[in-house]
Amino acid sequence: MRIRSTVIRAAIPAVTLGLIVSGCSSSDSGGTGTSAIGTTNDINPHDVADLRDGGNLRLPISALPVNWNTLSVDGNDIEITNVERPMMPQAFRIDAAGNTSVNTDYFTDVQLTNTNPQQVTYTINPKAAWSDGTPMSWEDIAAEANALSGRDKSYLIANNSGFDRVEKVERGKDDKQAVITFNKHFAEWKGQFAGNSFLLPKSVTGNPEAFNKSQVDGITVTSGPFRVRSTDRAQGRIVLERDPKWWGATPKLDTITFSVLASEATLPALQNNEIDADGIGNRDELKTAQGIPDVAIRRTPATQWSHLTFNGAPGSILSDPAVRVAIIKAIDRQGIATAIDNGLVANPHALNNHVYLEGQAGFQDNSLPYDPDAAAKELDAAGWKLNGDVREKNGRKLEIRDVMYNQDIWVQMAQIMQQNLARVGVKLNIETKPGQGYFSQVIQPGDFDVAQWSWVGDPFPLGSLNQIWGYDPKDIQGNYGRIGSPELNDLIEKTVSELDEKKAIELANQVDKKIWEEGHSAPLIQSPGILAVRAGLANYGARGLATLDWTKVGFLK
Decide which of 214, 238, 267 is a domain's last residue.
214
What angle is formed at CA 315 by the lines to CA 310 and CA 318, rounded to 5 degrees? Answer: 30
Cβ-based burial of 147 (10 A; exposed 0-12, middle 13-18, buried ≥19): buried
Does a structural domain hold residue 468? Answer: yes
Q: Determine the distance from the C-alpha atom of residue 476 to the mean position of all C-alpha atoms in its chain, rounded to a whole number.
A: 17
> 450: domain CATH number?
3.10.105.10
Give yes or no: residues 192 and 129 share one domain.
yes
Question: Is residue 546 within 8 Å of 459, Cβ to Cβ?
Answer: no
Closest by CA position to 476, among listed 162, 80, 195, 153: 153
> 140: domain CATH number?
3.90.76.10
Give yes or no: residues 320 and 465 share one domain.
yes
**Alpha helices by DSSP H, 188-347:** 202-205, 208-213, 263-271, 283-290, 321-330, 333-341
Please enumerate in sequence order all residues whose Cβ is within 8 A of that of 184, keeping only pairs 6 or more positions apart, or say none: 165, 497
pTM score above 0.95: no
Give yes or no: residues 83 and 189 share one domain.
yes
β-pairing verdict for 427-433 and 399-405: parallel
Give yes or no: residues 144 and 290 share one domain.
no
Give yes or no: residues 106 and 189 share one domain.
yes
Decide which of 214, 242, 264 is a domain's last residue.
214
Structural domain boundaries, residue 250: 48-62+225-302+530-555
Closest by CA position to 73, among listed 13, 2, 15: 2
SS3 408: helix
β-pairing verdict for 530-534 and 390-393: unpaired
Question: Is residue 183 within 8 Å of 117, Cβ to Cβ?
Answer: yes
d(CA 292, CA 553): 22
**What pLDDT tens digit does each residue of the chain (557 aa) get?**
666 666 554 333 222 222 222 222 233 445 555 555 545 679 999 999 999 999 999 999 988 999 999 999 889 888 899 999 999 999 999 887 778 899 999 999 999 999 999 999 999 999 999 999 999 999 999 999 999 999 999 999 988 889 999 999 999 999 999 999 999 999 899 999 998 899 999 999 999 999 999 999 999 999 999 999 999 999 999 999 999 999 999 999 999 999 999 888 999 999 999 999 999 878 899 999 999 999 999 988 777 899 999 999 999 999 999 999 999 999 999 999 999 988 888 889 899 999 988 767 788 999 999 999 999 999 999 999 999 999 999 999 999 999 999 988 899 999 999 999 999 999 999 999 988 888 889 999 999 999 999 888 777 888 889 889 999 998 888 899 999 999 999 999 999 999 888 999 999 999 999 999 999 999 999 888 899 999 999 999 998 778 999 999 999 99
Does a structural domain hold residue 235? Answer: yes
Does a structural domain hold residue 549? Answer: yes
Closest by CA position to 313, among listed 63, 502, 549, 520: 520
What is the crossing angle of helices 501-518 and 486-497, to 10°?
Answer: 160
Total domains present in the chain: 3
Question: Is residue 519 within 8 Å of 319, Cβ to Cβ?
Answer: no
**Separation of first and last alpha carbons in the chain:** 37
d(CA 489, CA 309): 18
SS3 488: helix
Give yes or no: residues 293 and 150 share one domain.
no
Give yes or no: residues 234 and 110 share one domain.
no
In 10 A of CB 9, how many CB atoms? Answer: 24
